[in-house]
Structure 1
Amino acid sequence: MSASIAMAESSRSSGHALLDGAQTAWDMLSEEQMQRHITTGCEELDTILGGGIHCKAVTEIGGIPGIGKTQLGIQLAVNVQIPVQYGGLGGKAVYIDTEGSFMVERAHQIIEGCIADLFENFEHRKKESLVCPDILQPNSFLANIFYFRVCSYTEQIAAVNYLEKFLEEHKDVKIIVVDSITFHFRRDFDDLAMRTRVLGGMSLKLMRFAKKHNLAVVLLNQVTTKFADGSFQLTLALGDSWSHACTNRIILYWNGNERHAYIDKSPSLRSASAPFQVTSKGIRNVTSNCKRVRMM
């Protein structure tokens, strides 16, 4: 009898240990309402995203080559560093480059555009930059982007595994960008069942990082063709099962000569599309007087 009681007590105590991290739904709502977002640089795109890219979430951004995926990835790695007093997160970025698309010269251009906009929008804060000369300097922004170049899927897996330790040592990292999540797994991985399992494990790990460290994970994805309804159609790579690995899914596409972003999947955001443009300064609003945001 005493042995049974001891086992029950042990079971209860282990159950309490498992539930130590439980939250109430009220706490979750309060956290979400207080959460700051990472601006994309385009007001209309921020609007349909509910303020920008969400922390504590994995966001997939996909589209055809040349649509602006890497440009948006670099822009987010820059914008996450906007100081808190300027309305930003004041964080740092991890950029995992699988394709060799990251160009430091382009990052420098985007940083200069970001700083110019901040000076323009926060004219009254210019004195702060004189008192603290490092607060808004291109070199400081570049020093806060931790760049990892990976050349195979094994290196990609190793880089994600290494992030567990890296994030513990760099608690001010507020975004992880993977550009792209797809590249090596499409070229070098023949076993599709194994690929699905490996990618599933990687996405769960990235989701855990997002939740634990209160950061945003942005996964850039390529497109592929899919045969459906008697014709070939463009779709994001890695198949239908991968679409469930992310919290939010954004598809970038051309509408005539304009670039648009469409929210394809989200548990909290309505389906909507908004135009954006890639300028010398980075991702910006489309210069037009007519409002183009469309809600579905």
Structure 2
Amino acid sequence: MSITEAFGEFRTGKTQLAHTLCVTVQLPPEMGGGNGKAAFIDTEGTFRPERIRAIAARFGIDPDTTLDNITVARAHNSEHQLDLLNELCIRLCEDKQYRLVVVDSIMALFRVDYSGRGELSERQQRLGQMLSKLVRISEEFNIAIYITNQMTADPGATLSFAADTKKPIGGHVLAHASATRLYLKKGRGETRVCKIWDSPDVPEAECTYQITTGGINDAQD
């Protein structure tokens, strides 16, 4: 019943986590799953059926059935992205088996459609409308929402010694809508690090993970 946002640089595992969640949500509750279906709104052409097949094989479930339980829609602009959410609401009313909605990524099309400070206010207003609809979907249908987000340079951070010079885009509108925010970054070698950036019920912490053919794995596995 809330939004979880994962932000980070390129190749930190945001989309791979989305693919893994689309599979694990179909697992029974005793295996940590939701025993339900997933909806995937793709804004950057990142959805890969072959990844779903590989991850399904890791968890010992049928790849074809797994793919059948994932509804995928490709958004081509920010208006289309909002239209897809409206269509999704109709589908959720008709089919109560959905437990997860993924938007990968939430800001990509907004950055294309609205450029420059002159359009920033309008962009944030439209973004706020979309996030408000996602929040309502999560609450009314008791569904987990997972969104990915990009990062941008933070000029103000350079004034502070050893500060992180990048920050997630979307501003306060996105920050307030996301109940839990995860910062994914590159670690040593092939490892990645996930940091809890903000959460209402989980303390700040970090974990190390790896991206494998079977999805996201704990680095200690």
Q: TM-score, normalised by structure 2?
A: 0.92
What whole-Å deviation, never above 9, does each CA across 1:32-79 have from its counterpart, x for those lacking one? xxxxxxxxxxxxxxxxxxxxxxxx110000110111111000100110
Kindly, what percent of the aligned residue pairs are identical? Answer: 34
What is the identity, as a one-letter code, of the residue corresponding to 1:107? I
Cα distance in 1, alignment partners of residues 64 and 157 from structure 2: 52
SS in 2 for 1:228: helix
SS in 1 for 2:21: helix
Aligned twin of 2:15: 70
Aligned twin of 1:275: 208
Of 195, 205, 227, the match for 2:155: 227
What whole-Å deviation, never above 9, does each CA across 1:182-223 have from its counterpart, x for those lacking one? 110011113111111111111111111111111100110011
Runs of 5+ in structure 2 lacking a partner?
none
Of 196, 202, 209, the match for 1:263: 196
Aligned twin of 1:25: none
Runs of 5+ in structure 1 lacking a partner?
1-55, 116-135, 289-296
Aligned twin of 1:209: 137
Contact 2:4 2:179 (8 Å CA) reproduced: yes
The alpha carbon displacement at 1:229 in A equals: 4.4
Cα distance in 1, alignment partners of residues 93 and 172 from structure 2: 33
Alignment length, in residue pairs? 213
SS in 2 for 1:197: helix
1:163 equivalenced with 2:163 (yes/no): no
Of 109, 113, 126, the match for 1:188: 113
Aligned twin of 1:247: 179
Of 59, 65, 68, the match for 1:140: 65
Runs of 4+ in 1 over 6 A off after TM superposition: none
The alpha carbon displacement at 1:87 in A equals: 4.5
Cα distance in 2, alignment partners of residues 208 and 154 from structure 1: 18
The alpha carbon displacement at 1:164 in A equals: 1.6
What is the identity, as a one-letter code, of the residue corresponding to 1:226? D
What is the identity, as a one-letter code, of the residue corresponding to 2:45? G
What whole-Å deviation, never above 9, does each CA across 1:139-184 have from its counterpart, x for those lacking one? 1111000000111111101111222211101211000000000110
Structure ID, larger Rg:
1
Aligned twin of 1:90: 35
Question: Pairwise CA RMSD of aligned residues?
Answer: 1.5
Aligned twin of 1:114: 59
Contact 2:127 2:173 (8 Å CA) reproduced: no
SS in 1 for 2:165: strand
